[in-house]
Structure 1
Amino acid sequence: MKLSLWLITQKTPISKVTELAEKAEKNGFDAVWFAEAWRETIVPLTAIAMKTKTIKFGSGVGQVFPNNPTTLALQGTNLQELSDGRFVLGLGLSTPFVVENWYGSHYGRPLRQMRESIEIIKGIQTSKSGNRFNYEGELFKIKKYKSPVELEKPFPVYMAAIGPKMLQLAGEIADGLVIGALHSPRYLSENVYHNLKIGAERSGRNLDDLNIIYGQICSISQNRKEAYDRARKSIMYTAQYPHYQTVMQQEGFTEEVEAISQALEQKDYDKAATLITDKMVDHFSIAGEPDECKEKLLRYSDYPGIPMLTLIPFKVSEEEVIDNMELILETFKK
């Protein structure tokens, strides 16, 4: 089973991020992903490219609104050249709060923004050296752009998608799909695959043409209670978002979601965490002692794509998150 590591960090030095990527490569992991949550992605990914030799790496995911698509294409081209073809560009919408408050950018027409961004990134990559790239969109208009580098192997573009229309767009134009940190076989069947297929049929593609990666909360400790309590906090983070609440409700946790939501609205995070039951932890995460987690990972062996193992630094110290990453790499070493 292929595995990848999903790095979601705030204060962790880039030197430590690259150290984890090197260890992931050494321990047989297929890929490492860096999230544009509190930090931007390009500098850490450049450091990873320079410190590793074989492992795939990418943005999981970068934000599409504050980042100009031509700039993204150029950054991706540089990383693809630097790494001899190991880079993957992952793009997502983020939220209006982050885009408008943190970046001062307008959040609007997300479907069109994502479509045009990917079309431009792919168009720039595939334009032959010496030719001029032109694009006439509703949001972006590019005239006579000359790509400085002709890539032998263009880098793939993955999309983070949740809603039906965005999933259909991913099926239509993206090279891969990034699924968030909370999911289930039922959610994938009823929400994801159906819409991906609609999009794929628009462009005459097969779903096999689309690579899938999915976030997977993973909390490991020699102390089982400690592992479960950390996992509760990652699940609590996801419970702030309506789409993840829907997944929980689909899986039979409607009463729990209502109580957790009330506690979160009151910013009573301690209470919200205690309301996440052991049953929810078992259902939505891999948590426990190392050998226990090895067994729990097996239930995802029939899942499509590759899991991105992670612990979200929400109400958990970043030191604990990094220690957990070290245990993930050691526990699932090949």
Structure 2
Amino acid sequence: MKLGLQLGYWGAGMPPNAAEMVVAADEAGYDAVFTAESWGSDVFTPLAWWGSATRHVRLGTAVAQLSARTPTAAAMAALTLDHLSGGRAILGLGVSGPQVVEGWYGAPFGKPLARTREYVDIVRKVLAREAPVTSAGPHYPLPYTGQGADGLGKPLRPITHPLRAELPIWLGAEGPKNVALAAEIADGWLAVYYSEKLAEQYNSWLDEGFRRPGARRSRADFEVAANVSITVTDDAAAAYDRHRPVIALYAGGMGAEQKNFHADLFRRMGYGEVVDEVTALFRAGRKAEAAAAVPDELVAETAMIGTAEQVRAQVKQWGDRGVTMLMVGGQDAAQVRSVASVLAEN
């Protein structure tokens, strides 16, 4: 089982211990370090800055939002990072949600599957650098010939030669169609909330994508990276309490009330009534009550909490179900090293 350090996106300010955690992950044998973006800090700049102090870990975006930049701009950032790191970049992409896409980026959210397919195709054309990049659209037409165009657009190839044409592209996905698409066109799947209970369902979605004509990879060479919080402790109850507010935010307050993909995921786990209650409380401003309404069982399904032996047993279960990497968060360098030490015995 590989380990990835998930730094996430920033809150009101820069996280204080991130630089030290990145170095600790590099020294402790982690496979990769990831950053994220929402509507504040961007995903590439912290990764390049902190990653400059590393020598071994891969540097991944988890995720770069499609609407934050055009596919050619994403390819430019990825190939630049790949050169700077000596071939260690992973381009993780995701559609985000309508609240962010339409409210922050000022772009339509519709047709996320078609947009993702087209976006990835253009990125791969840039990285291949076999010919000037063109795209028939309709979402990212190149050259642009629509309303307001001067008619002078010219197909171009990147000036900078990409270090790797096969720079890995992973997709963040939660629903069945998006997960199947990841298996079809990508090199890996970034699972936001993984549940061993739903592993059979996840694997059926992945297998559907692997079976499609032209699928890039098979189960044997496809990476499944699952976000998870790992807490080695004899006081599981206290750890559960620390996780409840985060789950309440994602289930009840993240995204639009009418379209919250995280809430849909928790419903598929069998927590529909919990989601309804948490959402009502969270939207009413009663966030502490919303957190209290998150049951231990939901926390236990999506986080690894317990003694070292219990955590190692759960890691093995996830590995047996097809997870190849655990993307873990951390508070400081000591915790980063501790997780690596515990899992080294698996």
| Pairwise same-fold verdict (TM > 0.5) | yes
Cα offset, 1:306, TM superposition: 0.6
Q: Provide the alpha-carbon RMSD of the alignment.
A: 2.6
Cα offset, 1:203, TM superposition: 3.1
- Select the residue among 273, 292, 297 that pairs with 1:279: 297
CA deviation string 1:231-268 (max 9, x = no partner): 12222223226544444444444443333233223221
Match of 2:331 in 1: 322
Match of 2:150 in 1: none
- Code of the residue aligned with 1:149 in structure 2: it is T
Measure the CA separation in 1 of the matches of 2:268 and 2:177: 20
Match of 1:23 in 2: 24
Secondary structure, counterpart of 1:214 in structure 2: strand
**Alpha-carbon contact 1:222-1:290 (below 8 Å) kept:** no
Taking structure 2 as the reference length, what is the TM-score of the superposition? 0.82
Q: Does 1:113 align with 2:115?
A: yes
Secondary structure, counterpart of 2:69 in structure 1: coil
Match of 2:199 in 1: 188
Cα offset, 1:303, TM superposition: 3.6
Cα offset, 1:288, TM superposition: 4.7
**Alpha-carbon contact 1:17-1:44 (below 8 Å) kept:** no
Cα offset, 1:25, TM superposition: 0.9
CA deviation string 1:142-181 (max 9, x = no partner): 342122233342311111122333223222211111111x
Measure the CA separation in 2 of the matches of 1:229 and 1:201: 42
CA deviation string 1:194-238 (max 9, x = no partner): 233333322343233422111113345686443221112222223
Q: Does 1:153 align with 2:161?
A: no
Match of 1:233 in 2: 245
Secondary structure, counterpart of 2:21 in structure 1: helix
* Structure 1, unpaired ranges of 5+: 311-320
Measure the CA separation in 2 of the matches of 1:74 and 1:5: 24
- The 3 A distance-change label for structure 1 pair 247 and 14 is closer
Match of 2:85 in 1: 83
- Select the residue among 159, 184, 190 that pairs with 1:178: 190
Measure the CA separation in 1 of the matches of 2:198 and 2:310: 25
- The 3 A distance-change label for structure 1 pair 100 and 249 is closer
- Code of the residue aligned with 2:331 in structure 1: it is I
**Alpha-carbon contact 2:174-2:262 (below 8 Å) kept:** no
- Code of the residue aligned with 1:136 in structure 2: it is A
Secondary structure, counterpart of 1:287 in structure 2: strand
CA deviation string 1:95-153 (max 9, x = no partner): 1111222222332322222111110100011124xx42332221222342122233342
Measure the CA separation in 2 of the matches of 1:282 and 1:81: 40
- The 3 A distance-change label for structure 1 pair 102 and 252 is closer
Measure the CA separation in 1 of the matches of 2:158 and 2:240: 50
**Alpha-carbon contact 2:174-2:265 (below 8 Å) kept:** no
Measure the CA separation in 2 of the matches of 1:147 and 1:235: 42
Q: Which moved more, 1:110-119 or 1:275-284?
A: 275-284
Match of 2:149 in 1: none
Alignment of 1:25-174 (within 5 A): 25-37=26-38, 38-128=40-130, 131-139=131-139, 140-142=141-143, 143-154=154-165, 155-174=167-186
Secondary structure, counterpart of 2:96 in structure 1: coil
Number of residue pairs matched by the alignment: 319
- Code of the residue aligned with 1:2 in structure 2: it is K
* Structure 2, unpaired ranges of 5+: 144-153, 255-259
Taking structure 1 as the reference length, what is the TM-score of the superposition? 0.85
Match of 1:316 in 2: none
**Alpha-carbon contact 1:63-1:93 (below 8 Å) kept:** yes
Measure the CA separation in 2 of the matches of 1:257 and 1:109: 26
Cα offset, 1:29, TM superposition: 1.1
Cα offset, 1:30, TM superposition: 1.1
**Alpha-carbon contact 2:32-2:57 (below 8 Å) kept:** yes
- Select the residue among 189, 196, 210 that pairs with 1:200: 210
Cα offset, 1:6, TM superposition: 0.9
Q: Which moved more, 1:75-84 or 1:4-13?
A: 4-13
